[in-house]
Amino acid sequence: MIQEIKAAKLDTVFLEWKVAAGDRVESGSVLCMVKLGTMKRTVTSKFDGVVTELLVQPGDAVPGGALICRIDAEEKPDGPVPVAAGTMVDVILDRISGKSAIIKEWYKEPGDDVRPGEPIVSAEAGKLSTDISSPYGGTLQEILAETGTAAAKGSVVARITADGTMIGPEAPRTKVAVIGGGPGGYVAAIRAAQLGADVTLIEKGRIGGTCLNAGCIPTKALLHSAENYQTALNSAASGVLADNVRLDWKAVQAYRQGVSDKLIAGVEGLLTANGVTVIKGTAKFAGQKKLAVQMDGKDTTLEPDKIIIATGSGPVIPPIPGLKDNEGCIDSTGALMLESLPSSMIIIGGGVIGIELACAYAAMGTKITIVEMMDRLMPVMDLELTKIAQDLMTARGIEFYLETKVTEFRKSSAGTEVVTLLKDGTEKVFTADKVLVAVGRKSILDTLAVEAAGIVTERGHIVVNDKMETNIPDVYAIGDCVGRIMLAHTASVMGEVAAENAMGQDAVYDERVCPSCVYMLPEFACVGLNEEQLKAEESKYRTGRFPLKANGKSLIMEETDGWIKILADKENGRILGVHILGPRVTDLIAEAAMAMQMGATVSDLIHTIHAHPTVAEAMKEAALAVEKRAIHYK
């Protein structure tokens, strides 16, 4: 039977044939190579048979869905062929991403019964493990590949004596399209694929979104370099004398980029291993469940069964005179990719982004001035500890101007001028090499054409329920574009919830217990309510505080400028909020989040044995302080 092989649904450029007319091919073998955007992809055969005709040549532009060759296919039934009871059948090593795999673990032994489709053995290719099963039921007769040995893809690893049972025909796979490949989108894509979906991920830039490319990861890499630099400069007290310590800015930038590249490559590998199709392009709605995808200036239409929107957010650019065309003004992305270390920087905005970059650059020698319109920094964090954090940053040379309004940006021979109005109404002009504008982020919806689908938005965000469903059936939205807590880890959780609901499960997003972290020097983290919120709610609560200057590990690390603060219900002791300023507290906050998720009390923390010496044992001391019985601090 003659079968027609067509190109992908998207327009491609044909590169080369791997077969010729007259060649015999097997299902899954490579027929040709094509170029999809900037990526090379293979086209494989779905049939066993003989190639009869090649219809395109290298260099040809191939429209989406166009016919490229014909194969005289051998007729074979879909799925496994029924076999009689007593027949010996092979267990084949398939569904692995590489050419071979290491046999990791056998779940069955010779003589064990095996159900159709039941996993028999686990194989590991690279860092990815896959369970191998047999479509036939019966008794495992022999194992041909021992644990720890390598086996080639397609090889026989075991044999089963069939009992006449077998799996049924495979149901059509749900088609899911994910728009955006950030920490919400790629997690949603992988989770949907795990649940059996045929997933297409559309990303206009690099996989990883803001988080991996221009946010969480590169910022923390920059901070790591800054912290190492400061450690080298100030290591004499611990007996380490470092001479001629200097900063190699090009190496700092290469390290930052290298960390991002490694993580991005890892995510790309996971997407491939999970069978996710990645398209580099821009998607917009052309109907309720219809997407127009633009790639290399050409449009292609996708009509998936389910759609998950994960377009993320971008920096807010305030309409202040002189900002738009001033090359000395940069956003957070620009602040990560400077060609040289500026001698001075003014940061507009005292939120998390501004504070993190302020600490990084100040530690590397840049003179930092922060201008903030509000009367405090980091409004999501506990005020008491925020004031301590501000004092610590001031001691490091960072200057703060709170309740100060920016009115204009100007160019000058000395750099960029920032014209401001101080609290008392007087005008003050600041001048610096660079000005970082970090006043917040907004959802990216402008290219999505959500109105074409009738998707409801509110104040620039997509409206969703706790299942991440929009008002349009089978269309979901996650991450920064829904305007809830705009953090990478919340986007990932939303992605899992959306994917599970798209695949028929019943998942709910609950951000009641969600840690917030500021990667400053020292670190700052919190979970739950802060004291200002409890006072506003007129809640009855107790407070426990413990200084890290009384913690042995903090003293060893020479990082004693910090506190742990626990807020607990006055009546039952249930933990209402935990706020920590100090070394590695962005790791330590997980203990507090777990405790709150489980409804723990300060008594639960007190009766949990904490290892010594660790910063974590200060958590127990803070819990003891709630009951006014801390051991190591009075």
Digit-coded pLDDT (tens) for 117-140: 899 999 987 666 788 998 999 999
CA distance linking residue 155 with residue 157, whole number of Å: 6
List, for residues 152-170, the tens digit of each pLDDT value.
888 999 999 999 998 877 6
- Report the chain's C-alpha Rg in angstroms: 29
Whether 96 shows a pLDDT value over 90: the answer reads: no
Task: Report the range of poorest mean pLDDT among 3-12, 162-171, 173-182.
Answer: 3-12
First to last CA, the chain: 87
Per-residue tokens: 8: 């992908």
Q: How confident is the model at residue 9 (pLDDT cuts 50, 70, 90)?
A: low
List, for residues 296-309, the tens digit of each pLDDT value.
777 889 999 999 99
List, for residues 337-387, the tens digit of each pLDDT value.
999 999 999 999 999 999 999 999 999 999 999 999 999 999 999 999 999
Q: pLDDT at position 35, please?
A: 84
Angle at 479 between CA 260 and CA 356, to 5 degrees: 50
Q: pLDDT at position 41, please?
A: 78
Q: pLDDT at position 30, please?
A: 85
Whether 38 shows a pLDDT value over 80: the answer reads: no
List, for residues 542-580, the tens digit of each pLDDT value.
999 999 999 999 999 999 999 999 999 999 999 999 999
CB 462 within 8 A of CB 446: no
What is the percent of the chain with per-residue pLDDT over 90, rounded to a whole number?
Answer: 82
List, for residues 250-278, the tens digit of each pLDDT value.
999 999 999 999 999 999 989 988 989 99
CB 89 within 8 A of CB 162: yes
* Residues annotated catalytic, as ranges: 612
Q: pLDDT at position 74, please?
A: 83
Q: pLDDT at position 377, please?
A: 98
Task: Report the range of poorest mean pLDDT among 55-64, 71-80, 176-185.
Answer: 71-80
Q: pLDDT at position 99, please?
A: 75
Q: pLDDT at position 43, please?
A: 83
List, for residues 445-483, the tens digit of each pLDDT value.
999 999 999 999 999 999 999 999 999 999 999 999 999
CA distance linking residue 381 with residue 368, whole number of Å: 22
CATH numbers and ranges of domains, the chain: 2-73 (2.40.50.100), 88-166 (2.40.50.100), 175-314+443-502 (3.50.50.60), 329-439 (3.50.50.60), 522-626 (3.30.390.30)
Task: Give the phi and the psi of residue 508 in degrees, each rounded to 5.
Answer: -130, 135
Task: Read off the DSSP letter of residue 322.
Answer: T
- Does residue 33 or residue 223 have the better pLDDT? 223
Whether 77 shows a pLDDT value over 70: the answer reads: no
Instruction: Give one DSSP letter per residue of 137-198, joined into a string.
Output: EEEEEEE-S-TT-EEETT-EEEEEEEEEEE--PPPPPPEEEEE--STTHHHHHHHHHHTT-E
CA distance linking residue 294 with residue 283, whole number of Å: 6
Work out the average pLDDT over 275-291: 94
Query: What residues contact residue 560 under an 8 Å CB cut-off, 6+ apart?
Result: 547, 548, 549, 551, 554
Count the helix, strand and coil residues of the chain and give each as a percent rounded to the nearest 5.
25, 35, 40
Q: pLDDT at position 577, please?
A: 98
Count CB atoms within 10 A of the CB of residue 413: 5
| Secondary element (H or E) of residue 350 | none
Whether 8 shows a pLDDT value over 80: the answer reads: no
CA distance linking residue 120 with residue 109, whole number of Å: 9
Work out the average pLDDT over 42-48: 82
Task: Read off the DSSP letter of residue 601.
Answer: B
Distance of CA 468 to the CA centre of its chain: 17
The per-residue b/e assignment along 377-402, b for 16 or more CB within 10 angstroms, e otherwise, is bbeebbebbbebbbebbeeeebebbb
Q: pLDDT at position 170, please?
A: 67
Q: pLDDT at position 356, please?
A: 98
Identity at 478, one-letter amino acid code: I
Whether 171 shows a pLDDT value over 80: the answer reads: no
Whether 97 shows a pLDDT value over 80: the answer reads: no
CA distance linking residue 552 with residue 564, whole number of Å: 14
Whether 76 shows a pLDDT value over 70: the answer reads: no
Mean per-residue pLDDT of the chain: 93
Alpha-carbon separation of residue 21 from 41, 50, 54 (angstroms): 21, 8, 7
Task: Report the range of poorest mean pLDDT among 42-51, 102-111, 497-506.
Answer: 42-51
Per-residue tokens: 44: 């494989």
Alpha-carbon separation of residue 634 from 41, 610, 621 (angstroms): 66, 20, 11
CB 136 within 8 A of CB 117: no
- What is the layout of strands, in order, in the sheet containing 475-477? 277-280, 198-203, 175-179, 306-309, 475-477
129: left (phi over 0), alpha (psi -120 to 50) or beta: beta
